[in-house]
Amino acid sequence: MAELRRILHVEDDPSIQAVTKLALEAVGGYEVLSCSSGAQALEEVEAFAPDFILLDVMMPGMDGPQTLLRLRERIDLERIPVTFMTAKVQPSEIEHLRKLGARDVIVKPFDPMQLAEQIRSIWLSGRY
Amino acid sequence: MESPQQSTTPMPSTAQPRELSRLAALLRYEILDTPEDSAFDDFTALAAQMCDTPIALISLVDDRRQWFKSRVGLDVSETSREISFCTYTIAGDEIFEVPDTLQDPRFCNNPLVLGEPHIRFYAGTPLTSPDGYNLGTLCVIDRQPRRLSPEQRETLERLGRQVIRLFEQHLLAHRHAEQAALQQAILDSASSAVLVTRPDGVVTSVNPTAERLLGYSEQALVGHPLTAALFRPEALQRRALLLSSELQVPVEADFSVLSAPLHRGRRDMSEWRLRHQNGNEVPVLLGVSAIHDEQEHLRGYLVNAYDLAYQEQLQLRLQQIAAQVPGMLFQFHWRADGPACFPYVSEGVEQIYGLSPGQLAGSFAPIVGRVHGPDRSALLISIRKAASELTPWHSEHRVEHPHKGLIWVEARATPLQQADGSVLWHGFVTDITARKAEQLELDKQQEMNRRLLEALSEAVIACDAEGNLTLFNEKAKQWHGADVAPLSPSEWAHHYRLYRADGVTPLEPEEIPLRRALNGEHVIDHEMVLLSNGAPRHVLSNADPLYTSDGQRMGAVVVLHDITERKRIERLQREFISTVSHELRTPLTSITGALALICSNVMGEVPESMHELLEIAQQNSQRLSALIDDLLDMDKLHAGKMRFDMLEQPLQPQLELALRSNGSYAERHGVQLHLGACPPVNVTVDAMRLQQVLSNLLSNAAKFSPAGERVELSAQVSDGRVRVSVRDQGPGISDEFRARVFQKFAQADSSDSRQQGGTGLGLAISKELIEHMGGQIGFESEPSQGACFWFELPIQGQAKESP
């Protein structure tokens, strides 16, 4: 079983992008590629070959769920889990996002000191 | 006329119509079976003598016999018609003569021929009435055969005509006697007093009514001059003077005052006071007629006296009754040719029109003059209309009373058409000024109320006990798209529909506020949506049952307040807060994250000098995040968008979790959280929301507790509910703050919030969350004795009492 090393992060807000990248690289020691849109993510995903994809829900243009549907056509979601980040915390919405194929949902605002650990737990939860 | 000798015909029949008329004529003379009368006997004696016969008879033939009114030379008074000779005589128009009975086959076997009186000769002349009926005969009879000479025949006929004249006189005398008796009977029984005088005024006859009225017997008055006996001289003189001037001839103060007008063609009725035998005066109305004979000679006077005492009594009684009636009674006479008058008005006319009855004697004008100018024409029109239609008349008009000023009166009367085409009214008039004033005041009040209702910016609707709409003001009409008050409830739906506050669920009929109020409920601030032609209108309805002063339910009223605009502003505010919060959250996430990373030294050691400032920045960014979270929660709660995933679960693990989650926060305040008793019960809650509430309560308690104290979390069961309490040792809740504890942005002291780091929304959100989960929230506190915040939830499943 592969190790969790590379994380693809899709987020339109540059500040969140930066903080998240820092939190995952500095705290978790992962390699992070930040994409500012769903379209960019679709372009980069094959070349980057991430182990884990972190996807913002609300984005201009192609939003998170739409990006997920497109990603699903190219990659094996069992092998590369996708997790959403969202401010919306309704359990029904979380359920909806899971049904689209997301492994989990991380609620914003996140604790940057714990984000790496959170992602690691999610990654491990898919291992049998 | 057949000759008797030749005739063999049987006796004339008695059953023919002519015979019946003849019998009727005979009976009319009323002479049959009357006593002997010498006037008739003179004629029979004369006939016997002139014809030189021993027997002469006046014979009257009725249906079965001949009866002799007068007879000479015969003893029997009648014989059977079958054997009578006279039957043959009355069948013809001239003398019937039988010269020798034994030679005549009609009579040869007649018992009067064969026996007594042995008639051998008969001659009779018919007695013919002026109207042509032969009533009987004047006949002569001999015991020897013979013939009458022509002179004798003529004499017999002449005598016969005289006998008929005698019959006529007899009849006339009889009629006169009857007439006199009838007149006497009439006079005797007349209800008015009648006195008969000679032309010079001397009394000749007095009827019993006059005797009773005047106290004199007939004998006492007969032979005395009428005026001298019964009239007062002064009255006679006054009347004589008056008549002298009226008639332009001198009239003496005697009987002339009664007879003079008559001779000038006037039939006056005049009022007099006659002297009673006992000295009293008797009021009478006198009518005088002249009595003339057939030759138009004046034979005397008939004086009729009508007793007015009875009339005066009636008049008095009417006056007394009328005086008791408020207002005035009247009789009003309107002749076909125009003029109108009052035959009677009660004294009340003074009270109503300020006029005396005397002022109205001749004319209607004084009353019209008193009627308030602007009301006159309507009054006259209404009178004319009622007179022409003969319908009951009713009028309310104003009167310019000389003492009372302007008053309102009500008049009612019933018109009756008289034979001469005039109209007679009976009615009354009452003063309704007071009632009118009340009515006007009431009208004013009602008008005021109506204007008030129309001026309101609220819709006001009321109904009676049966649910019929009685009030539907202008705003109600606008909002419902029509005045539905006159329509049946089934038609209302054509104009508007009612929905619950969500704007989509139709309101059930029993949910309609007015209906609920009619059922006795007080409806307070019930929100609903009214959809007519246009945009939906959000309204708050307040409805109440209406009661009469004695507690009977008389209907219900609902007041609708339009909150559409308020709702719109609230929605805009919410949208604004929501948008702003969302927009704030993203940069805040970066700030918080960045600070957290810096403070954790992962980016390298932070110089000690910056450490404190970075701590401050980090804490405040966290506080800002919490505030935004709370604002968004509040928004969701208000918009009804917050979902609750209710699940039945044990309470205790939730309390334990809350204790763990908030432990580190409490420790930062130097406070220890402690879990006390917790019964093993299940509750149905959204666990995440329950944690939110517990966090709020525990963090509040920790914040307000002095360092070193402890906060106790515990639960107790009572009445099927479980109460979860958070007790602290802080300063407690001040009296001023108690009422606002659960309000948004409520903080005991505005300086507190910054110092204590709260958002001011926690308790308000907790209250909403607990209520959404079917519970209640509250607190108990004495200042400086700490506070105890609690919430209660229904126990689910098999509730177990505390061990």
Model pLDDT for residues B225-277, shown as the tens digit of each residue: 988 888 988 888 998 988 888 888 888 888 888 888 888 877 777 888 888 88
d(CA B130, CA B596): 162
Cβ distance of A16 and B590 shorter than 8 Å: yes
- pLDDT per residue over B366-381, tens digit each? 888 899 989 988 988 8
Return the DSSP state at B606.
Answer: P
d(CA B163, CA B268): 49
SS3 at position B771: helix
The total number of structural domains in chain A stands at 1
Residues from chain A contacting residue B578 (CB–CB below 8 Å): none
Give me the pLDDT at residue B755, please. Answer: 46
d(CA B379, CA B503): 60
* Own/partner long-range contacts of B388-397 (Cβ < 8 Å, ≥24 apart): B390/B415, B390/B416, B390/B417, B390/B423, B391/B415, B393/B425, B393/B427, B396/B432, B396/B436, B397/B371, B397/B372
d(CA B796, CA B401): 86
Return the DSSP state at B796.
Answer: B
Give me the pLDDT at residue B757, please. Answer: 56
Percentage of chain B lying above the pLDDT 70 cut: 95
With cut-offs at 50, 70 and 90, classify the pLDDT of residue B605: confident
N- to C-terminal Cα separation, chain A: 10
Percentage of chain B lying above the pLDDT 90 cut: 21
Kindly state whether residue A15 falls inside one of the protein's structural domains: yes
Residue of B nearest to A29 (CA): B602
B12: preceding bond cis by omega (within 30 degrees):
no
Q: What is the CATH number of the domain that holds A53?
A: 3.40.50.2300
Return the DSSP state at B509.
Answer: G
Of how many residues is chain B composed?
803
Give me the pLDDT at residue B539, please. Answer: 93
- Print burial letters for B652-679: b (CB count within 10 Å at least 16), e (below 16): eebbeebbeebeeebeebebebeeeebb
pTM for the whole structure: 0.42
Least confident segment among B220-229, B337-346, B460-469: B337-346
With cut-offs at 50, 70 and 90, classify the pLDDT of residue B15: low
Range of the domain at A80: 6-125
Give me the pLDDT at residue B138, please. Answer: 93
What is the ipTM score, two decimals? 0.72
Output the CA–CA distances (angstroms, integers) from residue B348 to B327, B332, B572, B644, B677, in the order listed: 5, 15, 76, 86, 95
- pLDDT per residue over B539-554, tens digit each? 999 999 999 888 888 8
Residue B376: CB atoms within 10 A of its CB come to 15
Residue of B5, B3, B13, B9 whose CA lies nearest to B108: B5
Residue of A72, A84, A95, A89 whose CA lies nearest to A119: A84
Most confident of B39-48, B583-592, B623-632: B39-48
- pLDDT per residue over B692-702, tens digit each? 999 999 988 99
Angle between helix B256-263 and helix B233-247 axes, rounded to 10 deg: 20
d(CA B670, CA B324): 100
Give me the pLDDT at residue B654, please. Answer: 93
Report whether B789 contacts B675 (CB < 8 A): no
Decide if B643 touches A, using CB distance below 8 A. Answer: yes
Cβ distance of B590 and A15 shorter than 8 Å: yes
List, in sequence order, every residue forming a beta bridge with A27; answer none if it has no partner: none
- Residue B59, both tokens: 């014979």
Chain B interface, best mutation among A11, A13, A15, by max B CB count within 10 A? A15
d(CA A79, CA B760): 46
Residue B530: CB atoms within 10 A of its CB come to 23
Chain-centroid distance, C-alpha B514: 34
- Distance in Å, alpha carbon of B460 to nearest chain A alpha carbon: 43
* Own/partner long-range contacts of A36-40 (Cβ < 8 Å, ≥24 apart): A36/A10, A36/A11, A36/A12, A37/A10, A37/A12, A37/A61, A37/A62, A38/A10, A38/A62, A38/A63, A38/A64, A38/A66, A38/A67, A38/A70, A40/A10
Give me the pLDDT at residue A40, please. Answer: 94
Give me the pLDDT at residue B263, please. Answer: 82
Output the CA–CA distances (angstroms, integers) from residue B162 to B129, B151, B155, B157, B274, in the order listed: 11, 17, 11, 9, 54
Say which amino acid occupies B116: E
Q: Is the pLDDT of residue A77 over 90?
A: no
Cβ distance of A26 and B602 shorter than 8 Å: yes
Residue of B772, B614, B765, B598 whose CA lies nearest to B697: B765
Percentage of chain A lying above the pLDDT 70 cut: 94
Q: What residues have CB less than 8 Å from B250, skipping those under 6 apart?
A: B244
Angle between helix A112-125 and helix B564-599 axes, rounded to 10 deg: 90
B363 Rama sector, left if φ>0, alpha if ψ -120 to 50, beta otherwise: beta
Q: Is the pLDDT of residue B37 over 60?
A: yes
Domains of chain B with bracketed CATH: 17-175 (3.30.450.40), 190-311 (3.30.450.20), 325-437 (3.30.450.20), 456-562 (3.30.450.20), 568-637 (1.10.287.130), 643-794 (3.30.565.10)
Give me the pLDDT at residue B650, please. Answer: 93
- Residue B688, both tokens: 């995440």
Which one of A15, A26, A87 has the shortest CB-CB distance to B597? A26
With cut-offs at 50, 70 and 90, classify the pLDDT of residue A1: low
- Residue B159, both tokens: 């005598």
Edge-to-edge strand order for the sheet containing A52-56?
A: A31-35, A6-10, A52-56, A82-86, A104-107
- Distance in Å, alpha carbon of B708 to nearest chain A alpha carbon: 29
d(CA B287, CA B340): 27
Residues from chain A contacting residue B585 (CB–CB below 8 Å): 87, 108-109
Q: Is the pLDDT of residue B775 over 90?
A: yes
Report whether B266 contacts B287 (CB < 8 A): no
Instruction: Give the containing element (helix H, strand E) for B302.
Output: strand B298-307
Decide if B600 touches A, using CB distance below 8 A. Answer: yes
Q: What angle do CA B532, B538, B540 make, to 5 degrees?
A: 120
Decide if B589 touches A, using CB distance below 8 A. Answer: yes
Mean pLDDT computed over every residue of chain A: 87
Chain-centroid distance, C-alpha B602: 102
Give me the pLDDT at residue B769, please. Answer: 92
Four-point Cα dihedral B66, B72, B74, B77, nearest 10: 40
Give me the pLDDT at residue B293, please. Answer: 82
Residue of B nearest to A16 (CA): B590
Give me the pLDDT at residue B122, please. Answer: 93
**Sign of CA pseudo-dihedral B655, B659, B661, B662:** positive
With cut-offs at 50, 70 and 90, classify the pLDDT of residue B705: confident
Decide if A27 touches B, using CB distance below 8 A. Answer: yes
- pLDDT per residue over B742-763, tens digit each? 887 665 554 444 445 566 788 8
Kindly state whether residue A1 falls inside one of the protein's structural domains: no
With cut-offs at 50, 70 and 90, classify the pLDDT of residue B794: very high
d(CA B107, CA B119): 9
Between strands B281-292 and B65-72, the pairing is unpaired
- pLDDT per residue over B387-418, tens digit each? 888 888 999 999 999 998 999 999 999 888 88
d(CA B339, CA B337): 7
With cut-offs at 50, 70 and 90, classify the pLDDT of residue A119: very high
Give me the pLDDT at residue A89, please. Answer: 62
- pLDDT per residue over B779-792, tens digit each? 988 777 788 999 99
Cβ distance of A27 and B597 shorter than 8 Å: yes
| Rg, Å, chain B Cα set | 64
Burial of residue A128 (CB within 10 Å: 0-12, 13-18, 19+) is exposed
> Between residues B28 and B799, which one has the greater pLDDT?
B28
Decide if A23 touches B, using CB distance below 8 A. Answer: yes
Give me the pLDDT at residue B142, please. Answer: 92
Chain A interface, best mutation among B580, B585, B592, B597, by max A CB count within 10 A? B597
Which residue in this structure is represented by tokens 């040719």? B337
Give me the pLDDT at residue B419, please. Answer: 78
Question: Where does B558-644 have alpha helices with state H?
Answer: 564-599, 608-639
Q: Is the pLDDT of residue B574 over 80?
A: no
d(CA B203, CA B184): 16
Question: Where does B456-563 have alpha helices with state H?
Answer: 474-480, 489-492, 513-518
Which residue in this structure is represented by tokens 């500012």? A36
- Residue B248, both tokens: 């332009």
Q: What is the 3-state secondary structure (H, E, C) of B221-243?
A: HCCCEHHHHHCCHHHHHHHHHHH
Q: Is the pLDDT of residue B306 over 50?
A: yes
Mean pLDDT computed over every residue of chain B: 85
B117: preceding bond cis by omega (within 30 degrees):
yes
- pLDDT per residue over B140-149, tens digit each? 999 999 999 9
Residue of A nearest to B584 (CA): A109
Instruction: Give the containing element (helix H, strand E) for B675.
Output: strand B672-675
- Distance in Å, alpha carbon of A108 to nearest chain B alpha carbon: 7
- Distance in Å, alpha carbon of A76 to nearest chain B alpha carbon: 31
